[in-house]
Amino acid sequence: MPDRPILEIMHAVLSIHPDASVEEAVQKMSSQGMEAILIKQEEEYTGIFTKIDLINLLEKNIDAAEVNVSTFMSKPILSLDASTSEEETRKRMVEKNIRQYAVTQNGKIAGLISIKDLDS
């Protein structure tokens, strides 16, 4: 299989307001089969909430319905250009132990890519 640019396999941006609960974020992620969601206030992405962030929250016995997603989001948002190859994306994910990146095109976030997208 040719080494495609991640633009061809990325997912549409999934986002939620920073005041939403972690529970709402997880429900939205689950309904879309995603492992990450971007936090967006007005027109600006301010962070990313991932499956790993959820695990960290649960390990602290915090009620996901009682805490805002912005409290546990990761920042800054790490991104790769849409023209980055699958091979280079996988290499960076492994080297940096990161499971998902935002995908940028023309300097703006255009999608999300996860390690599981590269394995399908």
| Distance from C-alpha of 114 to C-alpha of 89, rounded to nearest angstrom | 9
How far from the centroid of its chain's Cα atoms is residue 77's Cα?
8
DSSP label at residue 99: S
Per-residue tokens: 51: 């499956």
pLDDT confidence of residue 3: 86
pLDDT < 50 regions, the chain: none
pTM score, whole prediction: 0.91
Cα(119)–Cα(58) distance, rounded to whole angstroms?
27
The confidence score (pLDDT) of residue 40 equals 97
The pLDDT value given to residue 79: 96
